[in-house]
Amino acid sequence: MSKRTIMLVCSAGMSTSLLVTKMQKAAQNKKIVAEIFAVSASEADQQVASKIIDVILLGPQVRFMKGKFEEKYGLKGIPIDVINMTDYGRMDGEKVLEQAEKIMNKL
């Protein structure tokens, strides 16, 4: 299985850091090779320009930006979704990883 890159986006890039850690642990437990990281919305362009991103997950607090992200990155073939608010609130790394997997498996 090839390495997957999952980018989480939130308003400041900090509130998702705990979720990233939990997702990394869930990926390790499932033997999934993935780079999972979080950035602020303002840093997203730089990350997309510098690496291949397989999926972008938006934190619920920036869900209003989904249309803007789809316009910018949809043409590059990067799927974008909003993290389920309950899973985000619970910091359920396993559920959010499953959400990312489902999106990537559709490709």
Query: Would you call 48 a catalytic residue per the annotation?
Result: no
Which residue in 6, 7, 8, 10 is the catalytic one? 10
pTM attached to this predicted model? 0.93
Cβ neighbors of 58 (< 8 A, separation 6 or more) are 8, 9, 10, 65, 66, 69, 80, 81, 82, 83
Q: What pLDDT, on a 0 to 100 scale, did the predictor assign at position 76?
A: 87
Q: Hey, what are 87's tokens?
A: 């899973």
What domains are there in the chain, each with its CATH number? 4-105 (3.40.50.2300)
Span 50-60, pLDDT tens digits: 999 999 999 99
